[in-house]
Structure 1
Amino acid sequence: MSASTTKQVAPASHAASSSYRTLWRWHFYAGLFVMPFLVILAFTGTLYCFQPQIEPLLYKHRLVVEPQAVPRLTEDALLARARAVMPAGSLATTAAITQEPTRSAEFVFRLPDGEKQSVYLNPYTGEVLGTLSVDHRFMQVVRMLHRKLLLGKPGELLMELAACWTLVMIGTGLALWWPNEGTSLRNAIWPRLALSGRAFWKNLHAVMGIWLAVGALSFVLTGLPWSGSWGKQFKALATSANLGAPKGAWGGLSLRSTLPGGDARRVSTDAAHHPSNRDSMPGMIMDDLPLPTTPWAVGDLPVPNSRSDAADRRLTLGSVVARVRSLGVASGYEIVLPASATGVYTVSYFPADPKLERTIYIDQYRGAVLKDIRYGDYGAVSKAVSYGTSLHMGRFFGLANQVLCALISLGLAGMAVTGCVMWWKRRPARSLGAPARARAAPPMRCWKAGLVLLGIVFPLMGTSMLAIWLADRAVFGRTARRLAS
């Protein structure tokens, strides 16, 4: 090899080494931040995915009944029995409607102290089977761990930030894995079990990462629309651009209407004497209602008011159930009961198949359908999010979907374990063991442009990247200057 050729190869090799080290450094710090959250997301997500199988085992005596040949009691009779066992001042907020012969009837009440409690009854005999706290039941705790770490808004923002940094971890991991001249594609996608020590763990980590990359990316992209900060902004933007649920979703009546007898003062009187009416007050949106889950597309839509010019007699729950059945929805939905003179019966049908989703508002006095929002009314973004949500939750194609989600989730937890083992085996004593910073920063224009784009699309992540960049320059820049002097 000539001297001139050697001079050309050396700078290229140095640039490649610097780029690899920079990517490794980003991957290390992204993983260091993300992995603890990823383990929590993996195990809570797997548990929540199997909620339909787990809850009947945990609460068998409340949720499961023996099928009987006798007719089921009416919804009104069951609601009356549930009201009779609740403390004085409790307000019925939600009814779960199901025709499954082995499932109990469920009604949710808001107690005088503000706590929400479910009451379960045998639909054939009316026997009260027991109660459960809505907020403290096992699966609700798992769900709140998954979404907010049980820390409220700060935890929700932390989970959102972890999801965004997972994108960086995936991108840098793929770049580090990409086969080079000395690695065959087969060795890059299949574990080399003959290796030992840190080389084995590194290979296993890389191979698992490539197989899980698509699933991890799907989880992040389908979960972010439900996040507390970016998700809400994204939903508002999609709705305003008619890419979410269009404002003109089907509905024949105005959202504003008169009260029975035209007495507007009745609203404020009811609200003053029944603080729990905040579950169904005018001006609320779907996300404010006491529902376990609602279709993403309708979360920002205002809840209409009931209208009646003369009659002020509220329809019974049984009448509303019959009305909903006539609209083609027979089972597996929740009804939010009206809690004020202007409230409506809100029906939320959230099945596994997104194309069957329905949100129906029914006037509490005359039974008029104020709005009936279906999948066909959604915009392109909301349709995509609906399918993503169903897949993310393991609902779309049954048990196989649940198993696939569990394998991806637990695989990501395995990535965290292999990453920790690799770090432990290479870390120097009394040191974090982070990859050394490249002496000369490589250009890497595409990567920098990608990070800037991610920071713009996800402002919370952009803010954290800017903070890390400033801290890196302050700490390591000062060290470099000291060494130079």
Structure 2
Amino acid sequence: MNKRIKKSIGKIHLWLGLASGLIVFIVALSGSILVFEEEIDTFIHPEFYKVETVGKFKKPIDYSINTLKKEYAIDTINRIYTFNDPERTVLVMGKNTKGKTFFFAVNPYTGKIVGSMEQKRHFFSIVNKLHRSLLLGKTGKFITGCSCLIFIIILLSGLFLWWPKKLKNLKQRLTIKWNASFKRVNWDFHSVLGFYSFLFLFIIALTGLTWSFKWFENSLYYLTDGIAVKPSIKVTNPPKTESLSQKTFFYQSIIDQTNEIYPYQGNVQIRMPNDTVSSILVTKENTEKRIPNQSSIAYFDRYTAKNIQTKPYETFTKGDKLRRIIYPVHTGNIYGLPTKIIAFLVCLFAASAPITGFLIWWRPKKKKKILH
């Protein structure tokens, strides 16, 4: 390898690392926490996840919705989550008359509200915003996106610098010499674990660009489906007429129809439109599949709860299927606990890399200063 080229790549690796180190630390550390979001949140707020007693029959969710409207001043329902697991609560997200958004946990067998929390005070809502936008809105989202791009360059340049000149040096590059000096151990920790984490971190960083840049997400659809822009998942609602009125069990009717349309075991999510023209979007994730996030879609009239369109997962384009799988890949949930543990560990390493990298750069500088 040309020494001049290696030196130039080394400088790129160094200065990009120093420039983005703090952001990478925050994003990676928050990402490691989000890997086990459900497990941690279940421990902190068990009432939001498990009912005390599993009953024989479930009450229509509309009973609980009416309670929320009367006792909690909820005037807008945003989302409803129901689960195939009989021990799970039903989750409802709604906005009250003061404009505050809350999460509610409902016992599906009694219809009682067993837990409530304002969305902006939810620990993982805060961590998620920190991870995606540093709590700085669109500006922070752009910063984390750019840092993600820089991190990909750092990974590639790091692999280039790690690559041994001779095969006999390979063993040295694959092991940490724990009994050596701190400087050597720190170097090995940064370099050796960087190699073992490279592929996982590269995939996590690459998939993370999906939430930062529209051009990246659109590129996925262009490469798979040949279309320049991601297609909209919204369907226009039929016009309202005077003769139509909402059903008594409006939301439960939507859930029941969805389960009839897609009879497999799965979790149903109702997404109420936040505009005045779209229909109700409902997804049902197939929990019988090994790969998560394989959800079929159904659309319902926002006034009558009548099914107006269906879109089974099998009919999705390659782009849509790829987009669906990106989330479980990014979070490490793709194959359950084993891949979640891997994602957790490599994210922790990614959080440590700016620190060990800084020490590699800083310690020699400090020595020279002392000697002079």
Band the TM-score falls in, shorter-chain normalisation = 0.7 to 0.9
The answer to which of 77-86 and 374-383 deviates more is 374-383
User: How much has 1:320 moved relative to structure 2?
Assistant: 1.1
Shift of 1:132: 0.8
Q: Is 1:114 aligned to 2:99, yes or no?
A: yes
Q: Which moved more, 1:120-129 or 1:336-345?
A: 336-345
Aligned counterparts of 2:54 and 2:220: Cα–Cα separation in 1: 48
Choose 410-419 or 166-175, whichever is displaced more. Answer: 410-419
Give the direction of change, closer, same or farther, for the CA distance of 1:242–1:407 in structure 2 (3 Å limit): closer
Query: Alpha-carbon deviations, 1:202-254, whole Å to 9, x = none?
Result: 23321111111111111111111121xx2x1233455578728999xxxxxxx
Q: SS in structure 1 opposite 2:53? A: coil
SS, match of residue 185 in structure 1: helix
Partner of 1:38: 24
State the alpha-carbon separation in 2 of the partners of residues 382 and 116 from structure 1: 30
Partner of 1:379: 317
Q: What is the DSSP-based 3-state SS (H/G/I as helix, E as strand, rest coil) of the residue aligned with 2:87?
A: coil
- Partner of 1:22: helix, strand, or coil? helix
Q: CA deviation at 1:399?
A: 1.1
| Superposition map of 1:400-479 within 5 A | 400-428=338-366
TM-score when scaled to structure 2?
A: 0.86
Per the TM alignment, residue 417 of structure 1 is displaced from its structure 2 partner at its CA by: 2.8
Are the counterparts in 2 of residues 42 and 412 from structure 1 also a CA contact under 8 Å? Answer: yes
Q: 1:120–1:130: 8 Å Cα contact kept in structure 2?
A: yes
Out of 5, 24, 29, the position equivalent to 2:15 is: 29
In the other structure, the counterpart of 2:280 is: 345
Determine the C-alpha separation between the residues in 1 that align with 2:31 and 2:357.
21
* Conservation of the 8 A alpha-carbon contact between 2:279 and 2:302: yes
Paired AA for residue 403 in structure 1: I
Instruction: Say yes or no: does 1:358 pair with 2:292.
Output: no
Letter in 2 for 1:203: D
Equivalent runs, 1:230-241 vs 2, <5 Å? 230=213, 232-236=214-218, 238-239=220-221
Paired residue for 2:260? 326
Unaligned runs of 5+ in 2: none
Report what 1:59 is aligned to: 45
Aligned partner of 2:236 in structure 1 is 304
Paired residue type of 2:262: G
Q: Is the 8 A contact 1:337 1:345 kept in 2?
A: yes
1:67 corresponds to which letter in structure 2?
A: T
Task: Please state how far the C-alpha of 1:362 moved relative to its aligned partner.
Answer: 1.2
1:73 has 2:59 as partner? yes
For 1:333 and 1:225, the matched residues in 2 are separated by 24
The amino acid of 1:234's aligned partner reads F
Structure 1 pair 246–327 and aligned structure 2 pair: CA distance change class (3 A): farther
- Other structure's SS at 1:346 match: strand
RMSD: 2.9
Q: Please list every run of 5 or more consecutive structure 1 residues that lacks an aligned counterpart in the other structure.
A: 1-14, 248-296, 432-485
Aligned-partner residue type, residue 10 of structure 2: W
The DSSP-based 3-state class of the residue aligned with 1:166 is helix
Residue 326 of structure 2 aligns to a residue in which SS? helix
Deviation of the 1:68 alpha carbon: 3.3
- % identity of equivalent residues: 20
Q: 1:111-155: CA deviations, max 9, x gaps?
A: 223221122232222332231112321111111111001000111
The 2-side partners of 1:199 and 1:370 are apart by 65
Secondary structure of the structure 2 residue equivalent to 1:175: helix
1:84-123 equivalent positions in 2, closer than 5 A: 84-87=70-73, 90-123=75-108
User: Distance in 1 between the 2:321 and 2:208 partners?
Assistant: 15
1:136 is aligned to 121
Distance 1:350 1:34 in 2: 37
Counterpart for residue 178 of structure 2: 193
Task: Give the Cα–Cα distance (whole angstroms) in 2 for the partners of residues 355 and 62 of structure 1.
Answer: 21
Of Structure 1 and Structure 2, the greater strand share is in 2
Contact 2:221 2:319 in 1 (8 A): no
Letter paired with 1:143: N
Determine helix, strand or coil for the equivalent of 1:92: strand
Give a deviation string over 1:12-66, Cα, whole Å, max 9, x none.
xxx9332222111111111112322222222211211112211121112344321
Cα distance in 2 between the residues matched to 1:242 and 1:302: 21
What is the rounded CA distance, in whole Å, between the counterparts of 1:413 and 1:383 in structure 2? 31
Q: Distance in 2 between matches of 1:199 and 1:174?
A: 18
Q: Is the CA contact (8 Å cut-off) linking 2:255 and 2:268 kept in structure 1?
A: no
Looking at structure 2, the residues matched to 306 and 404 of structure 1 have their Cα atoms a distance apart, in angstroms, of 47
> Quick check: 1:311–1:365 contact (8 Å CA) kept in 2?
no
Q: For residue 161 of structure 1, what is the amino acid of its counterpart? A: C
CA contact 1:222–1:385 (8 Å) conserved in 2: no
Number of equivalent positions? 363
